[in-house]
Structure 1
């Protein structure tokens, strides 16, 4: 398990988010690309809500881990990077159907990047996060929770790139 590789993947993912999100103008950001889809702004807001929630988990109550700290990473990656599978967001991180400000969203993503970097560099990633139990997965170690953030972000970055193409 390598913190440098984790940090690099997180940085590349968040840079991708900033670049693609910045490519939208304000009107495009809030335009529904096709029926049943979220706008680019809603996707970004969902990501921000979910990932800031995970920051609370990462900085919350912790416990000892009695299994490999990266045990669930391969499953998380497989689940979230399978773009053929449609997923449902939990209600508490559903974005409102409103107009979003691109500058605020980009700023939130940059803030998120900084806070994730801090956790990666300064925390014991082998500890189990006890503040929130993920449906299906159970409790994550910090290592797994950070990779959840990375792969969840990559999943939605793919979605954002598809919207940007249209």
Structure 2
């Protein structure tokens, strides 16, 4: 089963992906770790896309992350799309918290490449504004664009729903 996990930054994609990988033993590709080890150039964009295509050749795998430019290639290959939704206040809070934790201890975000550094500057403020607007700008557009794939989308909004989902996936994979 090919599983992709999408949702706002700070929604818990990385955490959920690790839990699913532990339950299923599927290989996991975390897009942040892939993208942030590049120089963000046009060559890096091609590399980023090719790595996802290559990873998706596996019968069973998990990819977590958004990166809207490459989401169509993941969605078309996925058997299951997990959409994590949290309210924007919680998402922004989690991002600020993880940024501070990462500043104090790089090991707090093992999915991030060692050379990654986060700066509390204008770009960071712009990123938080993007997170704040995420549901309005992205969720509706992406769900409408992939209406034909609606049956393979699971939307999880709470810890209870995530717990129930993890129990379910544990049963179907065994």
Higher strand share: 2
> Structures share a fold, TM > 0.5?
no
Structure of greater relative contact order (alpha carbons < 8 Å, 6+ residues apart): 1
> Which TM-score applies when normalising by structure 2?
0.27
